[in-house]
Amino acid sequence: MKILINTSALSEQDIDFSEFATLGETRFFGEVPREELYALAKDCEAVIVNKVDIDREFLKNCPKLKYVGVFATGYNCIDLSACRERGIPVCNVPDYSSNAVSQHTFALLLSLYGRINEYTSSVLRGNWINSPTFCYFPWPTRELYGKTFGVYGYGSIGRASAKIAVALGMNVIVCTRTPPEDCPYRIVGSDEIFKESDVLSLHCPLTEQTRGLVNERTLALMKPSAVLINTARGGLADERALAEALNSGRLWGAGLDSVAVEPMREDNPLRTARNCLITPHIAWTALETRTRLVHTAYENLKCFISGKPQNIVNG
């Protein structure tokens, strides 16, 4: 079997891809122009990608293709219908990043509540050395204990985040499309979670129903002291409305790991928004997480070759 593997964002420096060679002739590619990608893929039977569009045009240029894998849980870059028409299974990697993403959710939140960026920058500028007292606090910090933590989307990452919130003494409420029977937290509606949350953390997929979920109307429902955390997808928020809410003081802060267009554009209004922390879509990138991701993608292809495919999303 001829296998083509996209290593973009995964890094061959610290991740071992060698086990794929046990399954067939393996080639790797990074960021390449579309025409070059077609040339690389024209004879391949299996392709595993990350953020590369597999559409009808791609399939037309790859007549021998039998399998599509994604180095991700999400598969919005794959035309599932076109693959199904060709009898090509598409396999994802579910639940590989729950621990890392929930950890990053609270890294953003704790940085905001503890004003970590402001204080570390201040110390580097020499302000502590020149301080007349043993401490100084021009940026008041806040305590998470007793606050209400809203979880919007109760999948594996939402569940993991809720557990961390409970460990920190927070009260958890949940808004989810399909309320689970075993949920130990109070289930609320969409408007209710915006109104009640001191911290609203987004963990739902980006769909036509959730696109622009955070908008002028829903932001107006939130407490002025509230924080929005988004480690899911940038398209969940109307970025201009969010920036305006932050800059006007209608929302206290935001911690974001994703924006609508990535890489971020220079004119993104959130770049300079007040009290807004932004990381470049790295919540999932812990070494342990990427290692788990690549190994499961290998197992997916191995199972397909053995006639027992797993994690099919277009069956």
CA-derived radius of gyration, the chain:
22
CA dist 137 and 130 (Å) reads: 14
Cα angle value 105/210/10 (rounded, 5°): 50
Which amino acid belongs to residue 58? Answer: F
Give the three-state DSSP class for 90: strand
Query: How many other CB atoms sit within 10 Å of the CB of residue 289?
Result: 18
Tokens of 57: 């045009």
CB 204 within 8 A of CB 236: yes
Tokens of 79: 């035309």
Phi, psi at residue 25, to the nearest 5°? -75, 120
265 Cβ contact partners less than 8 Å away, ≥ 6 residues apart: none
Between the two ends of the chain, the Cα-to-Cα distance in Å is 22
CA dist 81 and 121 (Å) reads: 50
Phi, psi at residue 71, to the nearest 5°? -85, 65
Q: Is the torsion defined by CA of 115, 118, 123, 124 positive or negative? A: positive
- Positions annotated as catalytic residues are 233, 262, 281
Which amino acid belongs to residue 295? Answer: H
